[in-house]
Amino acid sequence: MDKLREHVERNKDRWLEELIELLKIPSISNDAERAGDMSRCAGRVQEMLSEIGMEAEVVPTGGHPIVYGERLKAPGRPTVLVYGHYDVQPPDPLDQWRHGPFEPTMEGEYLVARGSSDDKGQFHALLKGIETAIAVGGELPVNVKVLIEGEEEIGSPSLQPFIHEQRKRLACDAVLIADCSQFGIDMPAITYGLKGLVYLELIVRGPGKDLHSGSYGGSVANPANVLARMIAACQEPFGKVGIPGFYDDVRPLEAWEREEFARLPFDEEAFVKETGSPRAFGEEGYTTLERKWARPTFDVNGLVGGFTGKGAKTVLPAEARAKISMRLVPDQDPVKISRQARSFLEEIAPDTVQIEILDHHGARPVIVSREGKAVKAAVAAIERGFGRPPLFIREGGSIPVVNTFGEELGTDCLLLGLGLPDDNTHSPNERFRIVDYYRGMVAMAALLEELAR
C-alpha cells in the first residue's frame, strides 16, 4: 500500500475526532452574536496548524480573525498556499435537521453537521495531508503557507485587503483551495470555473404601519404586492433575466465546452430527484449543466412582509423585503450588474411606495487555467488519492477571493473538491462522505510530492 495511505489509515480515527470537535463550534460568520465562537474557532485552527509543525498566528481584522501559518523548509522548491474557510452558513431552518447542526453525527458513510463539507471537513483533510507528508517524508517536499479565513460566506471583506497588504509574505507558486466538490461518487474533479455574485436586498415601504386589509386594502398600495410585481419584472419568460443590459457582457458558451459538458456522466434524473422538484427548469436553449455552470441567474433567496404566523390575519403590510442573488458568469462585472439592477428597480418602482436597496456582498466570476504544472501535479495526486483521474468541471457557486489571489499574487488557483454535489451545503443536514475525507488527505500529501518534482 502507498505509504501515505498507510499513515492515514493509522491515524484516521483520531483525526475524525478532531474534525468532530471543530464542527461543534457554531462559527456562523453572518451572526454578530457568534463573535466569541468565531474567535474560539480561529484559535482552534491556529492550534491545529501549530500541532502539525507550522508557525501559526491568529490575525485580528475589522471582522472575523484570519488564521495564517507557514512551514518554509524547502529552499529552492516551489511554495504552495493553501486556502480554506472556517466560517459556515446559518443552519436554519433548524426543524429540518435530523440532529442539531452543531452536534456532528455519523449516518452511514457520512458525517452530518453544518460545515462538514463547506468547508471545515475539506480544509481539515488538507491539513492532515500536510501532516501525513511530514510524517512519511520526514519533511515537507515544498514550502507550505496556510490561510484560513472566517468570512468567506459573507464575501471575504477582511481577507481581500489582507492579501493586498501581505502580498509579499503570501507570495507563492500555486494557490490550492478545496471548497468545491467532486462531480459524483468516485468522480473526483478539478473545477476551472465559478460563478460571480451580486446580492441585493430590496425593501418596499408603503403605509407607516400595518393596516386592516379590509378598511384600507385597495385604497393605498400594498408593499408586498408591489414587491411581487417588481420581482416579476426582473424575470422574462423562458428562464431569462429581465434586467436591461444584464446579458451584455456574458461570454457565450463555445461549442467545444458544450460538447465537453455533454460528454460528462451527468444523471439528470437523479439530479432532479435529489432536489425534490417536480422537474428541471431553466433558461430555454441550454442544458441543465450549462444553466448550472455557465448561464447567469436571478433568484429570490428570501421573501418577508406582513403576517407570516399561523392561520390568517387580515393585514396590509407596512413593508415587504426580498433578498435577491444574481449569479454571474464571465465577463459580467458585479459592480456594473449591481448598478444596472439598482437603476432598473428604481425606474420601475411606482410612486405609491418608497424603496430602499441594500447591496450585500459580491464576487467576481472565475475561469482558471487548466494547463500548467500545478494542474498536472493535481491530476496525478488525485489519481493517487482517489484511484482515478479527475474530470474538469465548472460550478455554480462563488469563492470571492479567487480573483484576488490571481491579481495580488499573480498565481492561478487550483480548485479542488473533496465533497459531493449532494452534500446539502447551505441546506439542512449538510454532510461529508468520510471515505473522501481520507482520500483527500492522501491526495493532498501526494500533491505536495508531485509539486516538488
Residues at the interface with Zn ion (CB under 5 A): 118
Relative to beta strand 110-112, strand 105-107 is antiparallel
DSSP string, 22-78: HHTS--BTT-GGGHHHHHHHHHHHHHHHHHTT-EEEEE--SSS-EEEEEE---TTS-
- Closest distance to ligand BES from the beta carbon of 330 (Å): 16
Name the segment binding ligand BES (CB under 6 A); options: 17-25, 203-211, 398-406, 430-438.
398-406
**Alpha-carbon distance 391 to 406, whole Å?**
23
Task: DSSP for 341-365, please give it.
Answer: HHHHHHHHS-TTSEEEEEEEEEE--
Q: Which is nearer to Zn ion, 317 or 365 (CB)?
A: 365
Asked if 118 touches ligand BES (CB under 6 A), the answer is yes
Distance in angstroms (rounded) separating the CA atoms of residues 31 and 156: 15
Number of C-beta neighbours around residue 281 at 10 A: 11
Q: Which helix (H) or strand (E) holds 291?
A: helix 288-294
- Only one of the segments 49-57, 173-181, 289-297, 316-324 lies at the binding site for ligand BES (rule: CB under 6 A); that segment is 173-181
Residue 176 as a binder of ligand BES (CB under 6 A): the answer is no
Does position 155 interact with ligand BES (CB under 6 A)? The reply is: yes
Stretch that binds ligand BES, among 76-84, 100-108, 148-156, 444-452 (CB under 6 A): 148-156
Question: Which parts of 135-267 are beta strand (E)?
Answer: 143-149, 174-178, 189-194, 196-205, 211-212, 235-236, 240-241
| 87 belongs to the binding site for ligand BES (CB under 6 A) | no
Q: Per CB under 6 A, does 197 bind ligand BES? A: yes
Q: Judged by CB under 6 A, does residue 395 bind ligand BES? A: yes
Q: With binding defined as CB under 6 A, does residue 319 bind ligand BES?
A: no
| 119 vs 450, beta carbon nearer Zn ion | 119
> How many separate helices (H) and strands (E) can be counted in the chain?
12, 20
CB closest to ligand BES, residue no? 397
Find the shortest distance in angstroms from Cβ 288 to Zn ion.
21
Q: Which does 390 bind (CB under 5 to 8 A by kind): Zn ion, ligand BES, none?
A: none
Report which of 417, 401, 344, 392 is spatially closest to residue 197, judged by C-alpha positions: 401
> What is the contact mask toward ligand BES in residues 264 to 303, using x (rule: CB under 6 A)?
----------------------------------------
- Say which entry of Zn ion, ligand BES, none residue 173 contacts (CB below 5 to 8 A, set by partner kind): none
Candidate residues 398, 403, 404, 424; the one interacting with ligand BES per rule CB under 6 A: 398
3-class SS of residue 145: strand
Q: Which residue's entry shows cell 491539513? A: 127
Q: Which is nearer to Zn ion, 118 or 151 (CB)?
A: 118
Interface with ligand BES, residue 422, by CB under 6 A: no
3-state percent helix, strand, coil for the chain, nearest multiple of 5: 35, 25, 40
Task: Name the segment binding ligand BES (CB under 6 A); options: 36-44, 220-228, 345-353, 393-401.
Answer: 393-401
DSSP letter for 102, please.
Answer: T
397 lies in the binding site for ligand BES (CB under 6 A): yes
In 282-319, which positions are buried (b, 16+ CB within 10 angstroms) versus exposed (e)?
beeebbebbbbbbbbbbeeeebebbeeeeeeeebbbbb
Does 181 participate in binding ligand BES (rule CB under 6 A)?
Answer: yes
Report the distance separating Cα 152 and Cα 86, nearest Å.
8
Part of the chain binding ligand BES (CB under 6 A), chosen from 12-20, 203-211, 305-313, 394-402: 394-402
Residues of the shown chain interacting with ligand BES in the complex, contacts defined by CB under 6 A? 118-119, 152-153, 155, 179-181, 197, 361, 363, 395, 397-400
